Structure 1
Amino acid sequence: MKKTITAALAVFGLVAFAQAEGDVARGEALSVTCSACHGTDGNSADAANPKLAGQNARYTFEQLLAFQTGDRVNAVMSGFAAPLSEQDMWDLAAFYEAQTGTVGEADAELVALGERIYRGGIVESGVAACIACHGPNGNGNAPAGFPRVSGQHAAYTAAQLYAFREGYRAAEPAADARMTDGESMMMRSVAYKMRDFEIEAVAAYIQGLH
């Protein structure tokens, strides 16, 4: 079984690539190694590991490539991505895109603030609304490569926002500094303006968003 992914030209760092066709069945076979951390269907049980189910293929491919090139740093993922061919990455991406993501529950004490930030941003500190790129239901924007965030573990989302915040002034990729948002520094500039409690609130809201 093959899944045709819309042909497109995208730029990741200085590397240009054409969005390719991914084989879902082959991706499923390759995903056996991934299942220990991400679950058999991409819905991880451990909140430290991201849910991949339903994620748009372009975004998953870009992140695998970033781990392989060192533009995103994680010892486990870098080791896993190192031997993958570009076709392997597209096949894995197609498999996870074809899966159905699960949704958790938002923390009742944080959800109201989280929703305000997600839908309206933080005017006084110039934080843009998350909804602009990630959509009203958190499904992202596949053609633009903006990721699906719906139902993502709050702990994982918060960790990534903190990492983007650290990456705002970082000179090079590091384990505690994420810089995979392109030259626009979109996520880094947003996260840099957020206080800890605001990050935790929006992460909690996203966990229950669908």
Structure 2
Amino acid sequence: MEAGRKKASPCAACHGPDGNAATPGTPSLAGQPAWFTHWALIKYRDGRRKDPLMSPFAANLSDADMADLAAYYAAQPPQARPQVVDPAKAAEGRRLVDAHHCTSCHRPDLSGQHHVPRIAGQDLVYLVRLLRAYRAQTVGDLDGFMTAAAQPLSDAAIESLAHYMA
């Protein structure tokens, strides 16, 4: 765990010292399943996922570095982010989570598992951006399931889902 904590120092500027990001639009890494974080870092390193900040950072990580970081962040307790959530949109988002069976993969508490990320308590802006990217097919996921699941979602549905998940 100590190795991961030391290696996480450059990550703190965006993702917070313990993986609980405070920067709007930035995902929290605390409590993310280690497998998911490791996989995401591999995708950034090999160019299958692109981000102007993450791609150069991940390019220099070894597999051991990624495993250390993933284990460190998985062990950190996620904390609620202060954000303004619209109760009506959140209620509709709850209905959509049930209708689209999101909990089948993300678990009933949306905490994620294995290769499926924790989406509970994530940043609202980040969630909207990511769901729109899945719908636009500009970001990929491991098995293509999220890309397919996002195709029928309207902008209003994406907003509602994000308000519920946040």
**Do both share a fold (TM > 0.5)?**
yes
- Structure 1 position 67, deviation (Å): 0.2
**Given the alignment, which residue of 16, 31, 36 partners 1:54?**
31
- Where has structure 1 moved over 4 Å in runs of 4 or more? none
Contact 2:141 2:147 in 1 (8 A): no
| Correspondence 1:187 to 2:159 | no
Matched residues, number = 164
Considering only aligned residues, what root-mean-square deviation do their CA atoms show, in Å? 1.1
Matches within 5 A, 1:19-38: 24-38=1-15
| Counterpart residue number, 2:139 | 178
- Structure 1 position 107, deviation (Å): 2.2
- Structure 1 position 82, deviation (Å): 0.5
- State the identity as a percent: 37
- Structure 1 position 108, deviation (Å): 1.2
| Correspondence 1:149 to 2:126 | no
Contact 1:66 1:180 in 2 (8 A): no
**Given the alignment, which residue of 136, 154, 158 partners 1:166?**
136
Distance in 1 (alpha carbons) for counterparts of 2:97 and 2:18: 27
- Residue identity in the other structure for 1:112: A
**Given the alignment, which residue of 77, 84, 99 partners 1:120?**
99
Distance in 2 (alpha carbons) for counterparts of 1:181 and 1:110: 29
Between structure 1 and structure 2, the one with the greater Rg is 1
1:56-81, CA deviations, whole angstroms, 9 ceiling, x for partnerless residues? 10000000000000110112100000
Distance in 2 (alpha carbons) for counterparts of 1:178 and 1:166: 8
- Residue identity in the other structure for 1:131: T
Q: Whose helix proportion is higher, 1 or 2?
A: 2
| Counterpart residue number, 1:64 | 41
| Counterpart residue number, 2:108 | 136
- Residue identity in the other structure for 2:124: A
1:122-154, CA deviations, whole angstroms, 9 ceiling, x for partnerless residues? xxxxxxx21111111111122xx1111111111
Gaps (5+ residues) in structure 2? none
Distance in 2 (alpha carbons) for counterparts of 1:103 and 1:117: 22
Give the secondary-structure state (helix, strand or coil) at the position aligned to 1:36: helix
Gaps (5+ residues) in structure 1? 1-23, 122-128, 168-176
Give the secondary-structure state (helix, strand or coil) at the position aligned to 1:93: helix
- Structure 1 position 31, deviation (Å): 0.5
Distance in 2 (alpha carbons) for counterparts of 1:26 and 1:193: 42
Contact 2:4 2:72 in 1 (8 A): yes
| Counterpart residue number, 1:204 | 163
Q: TM-score, normalised by structure 2?
A: 0.95
